Amino acid sequence: MGRESERKFLITDDSWKALATGIKYRQGYLPCGKGIVVRIRTAGDKGFLTIKGKGEGLLRKEYEYEIPLAEAEELLDEFCEKPLIEKYRYRILYRDSVWEIDEFLGENAGLIIAEVEVTNEKDKLPLPPWVGKEVTEDPRYLNINLVRNPYTKWAVTKG
């Protein structure tokens, strides 16, 4: 059984950009309920189907499968809620942890979030100098919620 436990942070500056090259992602969500999320994603030239269960703290079940790119694109265009999430994802190694930085485009332009997977949500995590406020517990920053309430539509006081 797959599981993920991750923490999310806002970014304080763009010094991280020199450390990695981004890959273009498009992702969307199929209508579901009861805390289940079904995500379709393209990352570069690959397609993925991901099923996520309800969370228990930071921990939740996750299953991901590679699918043909053409099918992923068709599902995104024809079946997923709009607007789609479009972003560049960068992966940066910092003190034995891989940080994923998402620089959002389109309806969520201006938002940059850093995520890191953790084995224990209570562990003390060394933070890179470009990481700021933690937003793990703020549901606005969940990708599925960014579809339903895009960042560009938030009130002037963001973050």
Across the chain, where does the E strand assignment appear? 3-11, 23-30, 37-43, 46-56, 59-67, 85-94, 97-104, 112-117, 131-134
The predicted structure's pLDDT at residue 90: 97
pLDDT confidence of 14, banded at 50, 70, 90? very high
Q: Which two tokens stand for residue 98?
A: 């891989």
Res 78 pLDDT > 80: yes
Amino acid at 134: E
65 annotated active-site: no
pLDDT confidence of 3, banded at 50, 70, 90? low
Q: What is the rounded CA–CA span in Å between residue 79 and residue 56?
A: 28
The predicted structure's pLDDT at residue 156: 56
Query: pLDDT tens digit string along 90-129?
Result: 999 999 999 999 999 999 999 999 999 888 766 788 999 9
Res 30 pLDDT > 70: yes
Identify the helix (H) or strand (E) that includes residue 71: helix 69-78
The catalytic residue among 25, 29, 90, 141 is 29
Domains and CATH numbers, the chain: 3-153 (2.40.320.10)
Per the omega criterion (within 30 degrees of 0), is the bond before 68 cis?
no
**Residue in the block written with tokens 């930071």:** 58
